[in-house]
Amino acid sequence: MYEWDFHWVWSYRDQLFQAFLVTAYLNAIVLVVGTAAGVLLGILSGARSMIVRGIIRLYVDLFRTLPILVMLVWFFFCLPVLLGGVRISALWSAVIVLSLNLSAFLAEIVRAGLEAVPKHHIEAARAAGLSSAQTVRYVTLPIALRIMVPPFVGQYINSIKLSVLASVISVPELLNRTTDIISQVYRPMEFYTVLAVLFLVLLLPGTLWSRRLEAKAQLMQPERA
């Protein structure tokens, strides 16, 4: 009969806290970079140039399709060979891969959100003398934003959950450090339970908030012209 003893978890609280900080730092950078790139790509996906649209389409399809685990291993182990031995650290390899993946999904959300804006709003802005850039900034984006926010939050939650895969290339985040500690003290039940609780506390508020935003967005959905 397995005897639970969470005293072991408390003994390693400093290491777990440091791992939590690494997890928070990693995800903070990914969310900022991924959001900036995703919004830009989503806006440019409506460009008049077929070449620009084609490049963005290729980018989105590529990084939505490739498994993150495969990308992490490739960036960390294979890319340095192509760069002549220049090695990217495990942390920044994870930042690049997770940002590429997040930006691809967010670009699709932005594109769909912009296309959902009623055409008569855009036509009215053009008739008022606004340029294409001004129309996007002052008319299209504010309307599309309330459509895009709920799926954005959902994608953020998914990205944070996927960040544990960075442990495969030895980023010292929560899963990596938890696994190392377990290999030393052989108390998997306690440490994995605490790990699950930490992610539950971290992600459950966002999940509930995303559900409320989705319900509100459905009530505020603009009618199509």
Residue 212 pLDDT exceeds 70: yes
The candidate with the shortest Cα–Cα distance to 99, out of 25, 32, 30, is 30
What was the pLDDT predicted at 220?
57
State the pLDDT confidence band at 224, using cuts at 50, 70 and 90.
Answer: very low
Helix axes 90-115, 141-162, angle to 10 degrees: 150
Residue 109 pLDDT exceeds 60: yes
Give every CB contact of residue 61 below 8 A, 6+ residues apart in sequence.
Answer: 104
Bigger pLDDT: 201 vs 133: 201
Note the pTM of the prediction, 2 decimals: 0.86
Give every CB contact of residue 115 below 8 A, 6+ residues apart in sequence.
Answer: 46
CB 225 within 8 A of CB 216: no
User: Span 48-76, mean pLDDT?
Assistant: 94
Query: Which residue stretches of 66-187 are H helix?
Result: 68-73, 79-82, 90-115, 119-127, 132-135, 141-162, 174-185
pLDDT per position as a tens digit, 149-162:
889 999 999 999 99
Residue 48 pLDDT exceeds 50: yes
Residue 222 pLDDT exceeds 60: no
| Class (C level, CATH) for 7-219 | mainly alpha
Neighbour-count burial of 217, counting CB atoms closer than 10 A to its CB (0-12 exposed, 13-18 middle, 19+ buried) = middle
CB 47 within 8 A of CB 53: yes
Q: Hey, how many other C-beta atoms are within 10 angstroms of the C-beta on 193?
A: 14
Residue 47 pLDDT exceeds 50: yes
State the pLDDT confidence band at 213, using cuts at 50, 70 and 90.
Answer: confident
Report domain extents, the chain.
Answer: 7-219
- Percent of the chain exceeding pLDDT 90 equals 57
**Lowest-confidence range among 96-110, 164-178, 201-215?**
201-215
